[in-house]
């Protein structure tokens, strides 16, 4: 939709109420997807959808409602529903106004309109993945997904922000014919021409076949470990999500010390640990404002090992009398120049961890994570991959891993499993990583 069309829809909402405040967001999505499993195409789909969510405030009472009917009658009915809901909600003691007028530069995440992608690219992408799996005697499953998304937000305080994005995703999980080994790889981009489905399939298949006949390790306990960027992302996401003042206040963050003081400003890691965010980063751009209309500016979270900042919502900012610091929409961590292969070659003995099968927080006070390795666990000996290892239950905290990190490579673009959060992270090697037992997970 054009900005003029979006503004007209917002004006309809604003004119339909006498609320003290109104906030609205419009989401438009044009999604095309190919899904496949067991080396067979399951479905191709093309879905265009849109919705508006409207929130109103009368005095100290709030109400919200949503509709997919984007015309005058549909929006007016949605406003009325939000008003009715506000009558039945408890009063709020502290009123925090919706975001007001802001200038936000569009981020470079709108690169390829789905309609402009040649039809043969979709079909070739799926066919090449299935053909590669057939040729090497394995079964593949996954998807090729292209979206044309649009988010716009509006408030009666003069806020109007809009951003289009064109995320492209190819993900392939591969299993052997007997189901005893598996591999996975995926690629994300906002430009379909940067995605090579054949490479995605090859890496997943190579990982699967390399993990044939895994056996338990000689011992279970602490072991030097090399983490691929995807595995590192799975650990770093719950760690970085604890950089939050609300979580600190509610005692859900490692940033709160035992004596109740904060680790903000404390040096916890070596000088080479630097983490920042920037929605305009050329390699990992992301959306430049939050769903509630707060601009996302470049920010530093860890600088030379020092905890620099924590997310501060509009509500926390109002409580403290400061400005909001919204959650980032990407993460960038500094690294060096070496590759994953270089780190493996310099490792005398340890594990290579490709990914995880889901990590859960076991103890929020020190961000202790627990969960199985997946998609390839290998023993490194004298700089070479010696054999496949049975999956293990990881039981450690990113805090200790960052403290014991002894080698980092060049950052590469990745994302945590199941979450489209662009990250630039290096492969790393850390000592004394704790594993507690084997698991039958494939």
Under the banding of pLDDT at 50, 70 and 90, the label for residue 117 is confident
Q: What is the CATH number of domain 3-209?
A: 3.30.2290.10
Decide: 21 and 156 in contact? Cβ < 8 Å.
yes
Above 70 in pLDDT, residue 113? no
Q: CA 321 to CA 94: how far, in whole Å? A: 13
Distance CA 371, CA 417 (A): 13
What pLDDT does 262 receive? 94
Ranges of CATH 3.30.2290.10 domains, the chain: 3-209
pLDDT band at 347 (very low <50, low <70, confident <90, very high): very high
Give 150-166 pLDDT, tens digit per residue.
999 999 999 999 999 99
CA distance linking residue 262 with residue 271, whole number of Å:
20
Whether the Cβ atoms of residue 274 and residue 299 lie closer than 8 Å to each other = no
Q: What percentage of the chain carries pLDDT values higher than 90? A: 88
Contacts of 415 (CB under 8 A, 6+ apart): 186, 188, 230, 233, 421, 422, 423
* pLDDT over 90 (residue 44): no
HEC secondary structure over the chain: CCHHHHHHHHHHHHHCCCCCEEEEEEEEEEEEEEEEECCEEEEEEEEEEEEEEEEEEECCEEEEEEECCCCHHHHHHHHHHHHHHHCCCCCCCCCCCCCCCCCCCCCCCCCCCHHHCCHHHHHHHHHHHHHHHHHCCEEEEEEEEEEEEEEEEEECCCCEEEEEECCEEEEEEEEECCCCCEEEEEEEECCHHHCCHHHHHHHHHHHHHHCCCCECCCCCCEEEEEECHHHHHHHHHHHHHCCEHHHHHCCCCCCECCCCCECCCCECCCCCCCEEECCCCCCCCCCCECCCCCECCCEEEEECCEECCCEECHHHHHHHCCCCECCCCCEEECCCCCCHHHHHHCCCEEEEEEEECCCEEEECCCCEEEEEEEEEEEEEECCEEEEEECCEEEEECHHHHHHCEEEECCCEEECCCCCCCCEEECCEEEEEEEEEEECCCC
Q: How far is CA 211 from CA 182, 208, 353, 428, in A?
A: 7, 5, 12, 21
* Tens-digit pLDDT profile for residues 253-280: 999 998 999 999 999 999 999 999 999 9
**12 has a pLDDT exceeding 70:** yes
Quick one: average pLDDT of 94-114?
A: 89
Q: Region 306-313: what's the mean pLDDT?
A: 97
Which among 264, 232, 243, 265 is positioned nearest to 367, based on CA atoms?
243
In 3D space, the residue among 24, 27, 28 whose CA is nearest the CA of residue 78 turns out to be: 24
Residue 114 has pLDDT above 70, yes or no: no
Check: CB of residue 68 under 8 Å from CB of residue 29. no
Instruction: Report whether pLDDT(327) > 90.
Output: yes
- 236-257 residue pLDDT tens: 999 999 999 999 999 999 999 9
Question: What is residue 406's predicted lDDT score, i.e. its pLDDT?
Answer: 95
Task: Examine the pLDDT at 31 and tell me if it is beyond 70.
Answer: yes
Query: What is the rounded average pLDDT of the residues 140-158?
Result: 95
């Amino acid at each position: 939709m054009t900005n003029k069309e979006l503004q007209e829809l917002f004006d309809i909402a604003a004119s339909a109420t006498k609320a003290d405040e109104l906030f609205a967001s419009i989401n438009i999505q044009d999604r095309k997807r190919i899904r496949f499993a067991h080396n067979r195409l399951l479905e191709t789909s093309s879905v265009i959808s849109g919705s508006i969510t409207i929130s109103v405030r009368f005095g100290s009472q709030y109400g919200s409602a949503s509709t997919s009917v984007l015309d005058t009658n549909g929006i007016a009915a949605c406003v009325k529903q939000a008003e009715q809901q506000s009558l039945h909600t408890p009063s709020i003691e502290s009123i925090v106004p919706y975001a007001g007028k802001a200038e936000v530069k569009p981020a470079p995440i709108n690169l390829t309109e789905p309609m402009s992608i040649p039809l043969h690219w979709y079909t070739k992408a799926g066919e090449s993945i299935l053909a590669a799996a057939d040729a090497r005697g394995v079964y593949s499953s996954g998807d090729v997904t292209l979206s044309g998304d649009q988010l716009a937000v509006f408030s009666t305080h003069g806020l109007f922000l809009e951003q289009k994005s064109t995320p492209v995703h190819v993900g392939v999980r591969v299993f052997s014919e007997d189901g005893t080994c598996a591999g996975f790889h995926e690629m994300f981009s906002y430009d379909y021409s940067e995605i090579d489905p054949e490479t995605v399939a090859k890496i997943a298949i190579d990982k699967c076949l390399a993990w044939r006949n895994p056996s338990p390790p000689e011992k279970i306990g602490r072991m030097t470990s090399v983490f691929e960027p995807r595995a590192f992302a799975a650990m770093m996401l719950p760690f970085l999500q604890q950089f939050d003042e609300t979580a600190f206040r509610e005692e859900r963050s490692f940033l709160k010390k035992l004596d109740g003081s904060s680790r903000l400003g404390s040096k916890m890691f070596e000088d080479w640990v630097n983490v920042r965010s920037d929605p305009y980063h050329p390699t990992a751009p992301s959306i430049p404002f939050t769903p509630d209309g707060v601009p996302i500016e470049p920010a530093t979270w860890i600088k030379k090992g020092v905890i620099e900042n924590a997310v501060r919502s509009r509500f926390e900012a109002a409580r403290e009398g400061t400005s909001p610091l919204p959650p980032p929409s990407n993460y960038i961590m500094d690294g060096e120049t070496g590759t994953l292969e270089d780190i493996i070659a310099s490792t005398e003995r340890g594990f290579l961890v490709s990914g995880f099968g889901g990590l859960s927080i076991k103890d929020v006070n020190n961000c202790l994570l627990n969960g199985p390795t997946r998609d390839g666990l290998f023993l490194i000996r004298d700089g070479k991959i010696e054999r496949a290892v049975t999956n293990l239950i990881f039981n450690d905290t990113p805090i200790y891993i960052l403290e014991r990190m002894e080698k980092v490579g060049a950052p590469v673009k990745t994302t945590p499993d199941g979450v489209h959060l662009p990250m630039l992270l290096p492969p790393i090697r850390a000592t004394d990583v704790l594993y507690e037992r084997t698991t039958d997970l494939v």
